[in-house]
């Protein structure tokens, strides 16, 4: 079946794209391993793992089998008043790999919804224990947490794609973006803004929400683990909840299973998504402590006020169980470490380009930050011409490939990035 690109351009909205002059799209008809296959037969090495989710690559036999098996049982059943084996097993697996204090699980249907649920948990918790005035949130500049309204309200209010909605969103507190880079010496004074805000407003603040260690769509910024540890300590001191958005960083992307591990901290509420299902299905999870769950359950509503139609979808749960099984039994740590070593070596020459402001690598993430915003359509054409799929945005050209990627495939991606910046 051929793809009608003219119809697509005229009628179909793609992410963050104008309908007046949409960005070009490329017709993918199949995917396998770390490659996408275009309609014309060309193969592209995927450098983004389908927005960071397909960590095991495409058409993995274990994941394919999990979906096929579950289709023979049931594709979906409502979760209100019903449970099913795949959901129970998934929650058992999540509790086995996350910190012991996090032992209540809400299975949502996207990363943004996981953040919405986390915010509801925080607000209902304080209502439930008699602190109804604690309704304010703290977030970080350069932070990104999703495209739904509560999530947008804790994204950077100025330097983000959501600034046009600022007058419609709840107004929260924003701290300066962490300014102690991951590979540099930690600057304790970077915690001063948080300390000062909590001293002034802690009785009204419900939670601090942040992306641990890596700020994703806000600029692919890597910050020092001691900043995260300091945030945890200040939240404890001033009785404020900590929400960790690990939707992008969870399941090994930064080199540890969860980025919070690098600061040796546990959040009160944890959001997971993207790689949860290995990129096969849309699914997310929000975990919380017993303390938070008890407070929510004591609130006026009597329970957590959220319930998506496709919550705990059996197909998604089945493939998530298989994906976590691959993580738990596989060699992802060595794979991510090898990717990091190769990206450091092969992207380093890009620092010599006058177009490049900074090259940075952490785990299976490689970033070229440019001095100026890139021409996405032009760069995309260059990459496809080189047989790779790299999706730049704003001032960033980056890689977050599947963990199973080969050395040769990484080299091809890095070669094309070096050509793009003229080195």
Measure CA 94 to chain center. 17
Q: Which of 4, 16, 375, 378 is catalytic?
A: 16
pLDDT confidence band for 203 (50 / 70 / 90): very high
Residues 362-378 have a mean pLDDT of 97
Residue with tokens 């996090």: 102
For 301-334, the pLDDT digits (tens) are: 899 999 999 999 999 999 999 999 999 999 999 9
Q: Is the pLDDT of residue 161 over 80?
A: no
For 23-54, the pLDDT digits (tens) are: 999 999 999 999 999 999 999 999 999 999 99
Q: Is the pLDDT of residue 6 over 80?
A: yes
For 222-252, the pLDDT digits (tens) are: 999 999 999 999 999 999 999 999 999 999 9
Task: Please confirm, yes or no, whether 16 is among the known catalytic residues.
Answer: yes
Average pLDDT, the chain: 96
pLDDT confidence band for 170 (50 / 70 / 90): confident
Residues 392-404 have a mean pLDDT of 97
Residues 366-376 have a mean pLDDT of 97
Start-to-end C-alpha separation, the chain? 40
Task: Please confirm, yes or no, whether 274 is among the known catalytic residues.
Answer: yes
pLDDT confidence band for 2 (50 / 70 / 90): confident
132 neighbors 126 (Cβ within 8 angstroms): yes
Q: Which of 46, 109, 142, 144 is catalytic?
A: 144
Residues 79-87 have a mean pLDDT of 98
Task: Please confirm, yes or no, whether 245 is among the known catalytic residues.
Answer: yes
**Closest Cα to residue 396, out of 147, 213, 221, 177?**
221
Q: Which of 245, 386, 398, 403 is catalytic?
A: 245
Q: Which of 58, 120, 274, 398 is catalytic?
A: 274
- What pLDDT is attached to residue 169? 86
Q: Is the pTM of this model over 0.95?
A: yes
Task: Please confirm, yes or no, whether 26 is among the known catalytic residues.
Answer: no
pLDDT confidence band for 160 (50 / 70 / 90): low
């Amino acid at each position: 079946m051929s793809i009608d690109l003219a119809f697509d351009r005229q009628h179909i909205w793609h992410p963050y794209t104008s309908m007046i002059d949409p960005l070009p799209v490329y017709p993918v008809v199949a995917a396998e391993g770390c490659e996408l296959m275009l309609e014309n037969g060309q193969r592209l090495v995927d450098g983004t793992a389908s927005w960071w989710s397909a960590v095991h690559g495409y058409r993995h036999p274990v994941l394919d089998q999990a979906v096929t098996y579950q289709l023979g049982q049931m594709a979906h059943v409502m979760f209100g008043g019903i449970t099913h084996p795949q959901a129970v097993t998934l929650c058992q697996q999540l509790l086995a790999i996350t910190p012991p204090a996090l032992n209540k699980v809400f299975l949502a249907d996207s990363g943004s919804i996981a953040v919405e649920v986390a915010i509801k948990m925080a607000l209902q918790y304080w209502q439930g224990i008699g602190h109804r005035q604690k309704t304010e949130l703290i977030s970080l500049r350069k932070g990104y947490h999703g495209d739904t309204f509560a999530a947008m309200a804790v994204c950077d209010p100025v330097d983000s794609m959501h600034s046009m909605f600022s007058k419609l969103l709840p107004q929260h507190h924003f701290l300066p973006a962490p300014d102690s880079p991951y590979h540099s010496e930690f600057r304790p004074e970077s915690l001063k803004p948080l300390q000062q805000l909590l001293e002034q407003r802690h009785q009204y603040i419900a939670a601090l929400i942040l992306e641990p260690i890596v700020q994703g769509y806000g600029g692919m910024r890597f910050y020092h683990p001691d900043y995260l540890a300091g945030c945890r300590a200040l939240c404890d001191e001033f009785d404020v909840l900590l929400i960790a958005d690990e939707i992008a960083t969870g399941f090994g992307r930064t080199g540890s299973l969860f980025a919070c591990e690098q600061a040796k901290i546990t959040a009160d509420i944890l959001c997971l998504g993207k790689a949860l299902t290995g990129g096969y299905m849309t699914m997310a999870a929000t975990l919380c402590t017993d303390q938070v769950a008890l407070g929510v359950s004591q609130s006026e509503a009597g329970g957590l006020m959220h319930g998506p139609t496709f919550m705990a979808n059996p197909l998604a749960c089945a493939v998530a169980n298989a994906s976590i099984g691959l993580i738990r039994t596989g060699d992802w740590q060595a794979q991510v470490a090898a990717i990091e070593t190769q990206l450091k070596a092969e992207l380093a020459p890009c620092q010599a380009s006058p177009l490049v402001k900074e090259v940075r690598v952490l785990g299976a993430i490689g970033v070229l930050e440019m001095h100026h915003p890139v021409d996405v359509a032009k760069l995309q054409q260059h990459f496809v011409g080189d047989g790779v799929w790299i999706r730049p945005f704003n001032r960033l050209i980056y890689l977050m490939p599947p963990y199973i990627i080969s050395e040769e495939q990484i080299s091809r991606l890095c070669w094309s990035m070096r050509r793009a910046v003229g080195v």
